């Protein structure tokens, strides 16, 4: 007779493999197109010419991806999560928080070498230069707001609260991404590539948290 626990683990493994494989493949495809100056790059440039229209609103939205904005939001969320889990006596309460902090610190370690290696020129709205692929501001926003959401969701009791938090996270990331393209700070593919990279990173964090959290362990009560 099939073991329900084994079936659940198999289903989880399949979902995680899909979450990791699809964005990784898309990231590889986009990177190849940028290196080869392929048809996606030419489409990207045409799309950028349509979308770019620098204004104050787009600049403010792009600022959502600044380290000075996104990282303090993540720090507050991690502090709250740590206090809640510690007060509840959760096993290894500090481990998910530490993993999230390490993931945030990995962003420049991953993105900066990629920028230097790819040396993609910026849009006409930017001064001449290279190092625009992938978008560091998009990655900062996606990992900061995404990580905060992943760790806060289990603390929320109602589906409505969880949907509201998820919607807010998506709005912040999409807002920053749109602002970066609209302002001309980045090509659209720079942003999409960062989405793919961060999807892999956030999926890995989610898998790690699921692995290190005991199913029957102490859980902090919802607010």
- Give yes or no for residue 216 having a pLDDT over 90: no
Three-state DSSP at 129 gives coil
Judge if pTM exceeds 0.85: yes
* Cβ contacts of 85 within 8 Å, gap of 6 or more: 93, 94, 96, 97, 220
Let me know if residue 109 belongs to a domain.
Answer: yes
Q: Over range 61-74, report the average pLDDT.
A: 97
- Give yes or no for residue 198 having a pLDDT over 60: yes
Q: Over range 161-187, report the average pLDDT.
A: 97
Q: How far apart are CA 107 and CA 198, in angstroms?
A: 9
pLDDT at 218 (0 to 100): 44
| Count: domains in the chain | 1
The token pair at 67 is 């380290």
Bond from prior residue into 93 cis (ω within 30 degrees of 0): no
Q: Over range 75-101, report the average pLDDT.
A: 89
Q: Which pLDDT band holds residue 10 (cuts at 50, 70, 90)?
A: low
pLDDT at 88 (0 to 100): 79
Q: Over range 128-150, report the average pLDDT.
A: 96
- Give yes or no for residue 210 having a pLDDT over 90: no
Q: Over range 28-32, report the average pLDDT.
A: 97
Let me know if residue 95 belongs to a domain.
Answer: yes
- Give yes or no for residue 14 having a pLDDT over 90: no
Q: Which pLDDT band holds residue 98 (cuts at 50, 70, 90)?
A: very high
Q: How far apart are CA 83 and CA 92, in angstroms?
A: 12
Radius of gyration of the chain (CA): 19
Q: Over range 165-176, report the average pLDDT.
A: 98
Let me know if residue 2 belongs to a domain.
Answer: no
Q: Could you say which DSSP state residue 186 is in? A: S
Angle, helices 188-212 vs 39-51, to 10°: value is 100
Let me know if residue 13 belongs to a domain.
Answer: no
Q: How far apart are CA 192 and CA 29, in angstroms?
A: 11
Let me know if residue 3 belongs to a domain.
Answer: no
Q: How far apart are CA 147 and CA 84, in angstroms?
A: 16
Q: Which of 70, 69, 74 lies closest to 99, judged by CA? A: 74
Please tell me which residue, 117 or 222, carries the higher pLDDT value: 117
Let me know if residue 129 belongs to a domain.
Answer: yes
CATH classification at residue 92: 1.20.144
pLDDT at 214 (0 to 100): 55
Let me know if residue 141 belongs to a domain.
Answer: yes
Instruction: Tell me how crowded residue 61 is: count the other CB atoms within 10 A of its CB.
Output: 21
- Give yes or no for residue 67 having a pLDDT over 70: yes
> Could you tell me the residue range of the domain that residue 139 belongs to?
18-42+52-212
* Cβ contacts of 2 within 8 Å, gap of 6 or more: none
Q: Over range 108-122, report the average pLDDT.
A: 95
pLDDT at 217 (0 to 100): 43
Let me know if residue 150 belongs to a domain.
Answer: yes
Q: Over range 28-34, report the average pLDDT.
A: 96
């Amino acid at each position: 007779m099939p073991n329900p626990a084994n079936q659940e683990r198999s289903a989880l493994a399949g979902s995680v493999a899909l979450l990791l494989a699809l964005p990784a493949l898309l990231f590889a495809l986009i990177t190849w197109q940028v290196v080869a100056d392929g048809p996606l790059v030419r489409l990207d440039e045409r799309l950028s010419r349509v979308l770019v229209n620098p204004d104050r609103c787009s600049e403010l939205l792009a600022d959502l991806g600044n380290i000075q904005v996104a990282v303090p939001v993540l720090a507050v969320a991690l502090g709250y999560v740590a206090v809640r889990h510690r007060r509840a006596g959760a096993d290894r309460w500090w481990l998910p928080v530490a993993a999230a902090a390490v993931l945030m610190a990995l962003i420049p370690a991953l993105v900066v070498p990629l920028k230097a290696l790819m040396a993609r020129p910026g849009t006409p709205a930017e001064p001449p230069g290279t190092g625009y692929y992938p978008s560091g501001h998009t990655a900062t926003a996606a990992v900061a707001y995404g990580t905060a959401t992943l760790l806060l969701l289990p603390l929320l009791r109602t589906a409505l609260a969880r949907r509201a938090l998820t919607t807010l996270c998506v709005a912040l990331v999409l807002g920053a991404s749109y602002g970066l393209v609209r302002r001309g700070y980045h090509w659209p593919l720079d942003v999409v590539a960062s989405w793919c990279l961060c999807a892999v990173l956030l999926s890995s964090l989610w898998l790690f948290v699921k692995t290190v959290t005991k199913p029957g362990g102490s859980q902090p009560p919802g607010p």
